Copies of this chain bind each other. A is one copy, B any other.
Amino acid sequence: MAHDLMRGVGGGKPFLLMEQSPSVSNWHDYCALKRPGVMRLWSWQAVAHGADSVMFFQMRRSIGACEKYHSAVIDHVGTGDTRVFREIAALGKELEKLGDATLGASVEARAAVYFDWDNWWALIHTAGPTTDLDYKEQILDYYRAFYDLNIPVDFVGAEDDLGGYRLLVAPVLYMVKEGYDEKIRRFVADGGIFVTTFFSGIVDEHDLVVTGGYPGQLRDILGIWVEEVDALPRDKENSFIYNGSRYPARLLCDLLHTEGAKALASYQEDFYAGMPAVTVHAFGKGKAYYVAARSDAEFYNQFLQDVCKDDCGIWPLLMQTRGVEVVLRKNEKGSYLFLLNHNDAFSRVWLEDGCTDMLSGEYIHGGREIKLAPKDVRILKKE
């Protein structure tokens, strides 16, 4: 997510990873070694998400001061006869093989996640309704579902154009900056799909509450009115039923009334049992979804899968294999599919189409499963 976010900040252009760590960082509580293969895996992961360079910190391990136990390409021993040095040298050889094939390539996404630092800071500084609300975690809830589904996403900010996207997800869109509601309104009216959550549409860009009923300027787009917000401690949860399955409602539960929207799920407990927990509103040619409480990974996966498939026609890059990350970069030379096996075990991935393995040079026929070693990486050029 950090890589996608950085690519988004740069407007989708390739970026440079400034400080890859050869092995341990020294500032963790417990500075575990990077296990064999992990430095390579994470380096290719950066490339997969849009990096054109991966630089290392540090070349030589310093002998003094606060980073003397941060790992380095050349350790205190001063020779190249170390595991860490050998792994880096081997990665260099692979880069030679790949050459400039992926340089300048971009990641194509039809789904966007809204991320805004002012929104984050405003949330940090609210007094109430809960101290447990962490904007990054809320973003990660939705991002992780896309990640698990092998669906590429871009991060967009308030200034970014929404033109190329079918889907805009804006978790906890607490602060609606001047004109941004209108941007969303046009996006949805023109056929876009918009998803937002509890505690959205609350303040303007000066952190002042927009009166007239939450979610403020988004109220007409979402077709709802949020009357109250209930905060739940960590050991307490409500629940709702969505598409036949029960999911938890946690953290904050909006108590809302529909004003044109349709309830897709309702709370099951407490005095607001029966009130809507998930809503959808047809607006112009598009739709606007509202998720009124925090839920869990199973819900986010199911919900975004439904929205992507049924409303947006967005399909996964590949069928999902647990622990195997799939990313696609494209440039004028071709399309490159990165398969990153984060598992400690062999993993199998189904390939529909034939392609060329850029590191081995080998051609791989489609319509079969390929096997990835633990922590292994494949870069496949599509036909």
Residues of A within 8 A of B (CB): 23-33, 35-36, 61-64, 66-70, 75-78, 82-84, 126-132, 207-214, 225, 227-233, 255, 271
User: Do residues A66 and B127 form an inter-chain contact, with CB atoms below 8 A?
Assistant: yes
Q: Name A77's contact: one of B31, B77, B84, B213 (CB within 8 Å).
A: B213
With both beta carbons as reference points, the residue of chain B lying nearest to A82 in the complex is identified as B227
User: Do residues A29 and B129 form an inter-chain contact, with CB atoms below 8 A?
Assistant: no
Q: Name A70's contact: one of B67, B128, B225 (CB within 8 Å).
A: B128
User: Do residues A128 and B212 form an inter-chain contact, with CB atoms below 8 A?
Assistant: no
A214 to B130, CA, bound (A): 48
User: Do residues B76 and A214 form an inter-chain contact, with CB atoms below 8 A?
Assistant: yes
Shortest CB distance A364–B (Å): 29
Q: Please, which residues of chain B bring their CB within 8 A of the CB of A127?
A: 26-27, 66-67, 69
User: Do residues B69 and A126 form an inter-chain contact, with CB atoms below 8 A?
Assistant: yes
Q: Please, which residues of chain B bring their CB within 8 A of the CB of A61?
A: 209
Name, among A26, A33, A66, A212, the residue most crowded by chain B CB atoms within 10 Å (CB to CB): A33
User: Do residues B32 and A69 form an inter-chain contact, with CB atoms below 8 A?
Assistant: no
Q: Please, which residues of chain B bring their CB within 8 A of the CB of A232?
A: 30, 32
A72 to B64, CA, bound (A): 50
10 interchain residue pairs of minimum CB distance: A26-B128, A69-B128, A77-B213, A63-B209, A31-B129, A30-B231, A30-B233, A31-B231, A66-B127, A31-B128
User: Do residues B131 and A271 form an inter-chain contact, with CB atoms below 8 A?
Assistant: no
Q: Please, which residues of chain B bring their CB within 8 A of the CB of A31?
A: 128-130, 231
Name, among A25, A30, A78, A84, the residue most crowded by chain B CB atoms within 10 Å (CB to CB): A30
With both beta carbons as reference points, the residue of chain B lying nearest to A70 in the complex is identified as B128
Name, among A62, A213, A233, the residue most crowded by chain B CB atoms within 10 Å (CB to CB): A213
Q: Please, which residues of chain B bring their CB within 8 A of the CB of A33?
A: 228-230, 255
User: Do residues A132 and B77 form an inter-chain contact, with CB atoms below 8 A?
Assistant: no
User: Do residues A132 and B30 form an inter-chain contact, with CB atoms below 8 A?
Assistant: yes
Shortest CB distance A215–B (Å): 11
Shortest CB distance A66–B (Å): 5
User: Do residues B128 and A230 form an inter-chain contact, with CB atoms below 8 A?
Assistant: no
Q: Indicate whether A211 sits within 8 Å of B126 (C-beta atoms), given known contacts A30-B131, A83-B227.
A: no
A29 to B32, CA, bound (A): 34
User: Do residues A69 and B225 form an inter-chain contact, with CB atoms below 8 A?
Assistant: no
User: Do residues B30 and A211 form an inter-chain contact, with CB atoms below 8 A?
Assistant: no
User: Do residues A208 and B63 form an inter-chain contact, with CB atoms below 8 A?
Assistant: yes
With both beta carbons as reference points, the residue of chain B lying nearest to A257 in the complex is identified as B81
User: Do residues B233 and A29 form an inter-chain contact, with CB atoms below 8 A?
Assistant: yes
26 contacts between A and B (CB under 8 A): A23-B228, A24-B128, A24-B231, A25-B128, A28-B231, A29-B132, A30-B129, A30-B131, A30-B231, A30-B232, A30-B233, A32-B232, A32-B233, A33-B230, A36-B271, A64-B209, A69-B128, A69-B129, A76-B213, A77-B212, A77-B213, A78-B213, A82-B227, A82-B228, A83-B227, A83-B228
Q: Indicate whether A68 sits within 8 Å of B209 (C-beta atoms), given known contacts A129-B24, A225-B77, A227-B77.
A: yes
A333 to B346, CA, bound (A): 75
Q: Please, which residues of chain B bring their CB within 8 A of the CB of A214?
A: 76-77
With both beta carbons as reference points, the residue of chain B lying nearest to A60 in the complex is identified as B211
User: Do residues A32 and B209 form an inter-chain contact, with CB atoms below 8 A?
Assistant: no
User: Do residues B67 and A29 form an inter-chain contact, with CB atoms below 8 A?
Assistant: no
15 more A-B residue pairs beyond the given contacts A31-B129, A69-B127, A77-B213, with a C-beta to C-beta distance below 8 A: A24-B128, A26-B127, A27-B127, A28-B128, A33-B228, A62-B209, A63-B208, A67-B127, A68-B209, A69-B128, A76-B210, A76-B214, A77-B212, A77-B227, A78-B212
Q: Name A131's contact: one of B29, B67, B207, B213 (CB within 8 Å).
A: B29
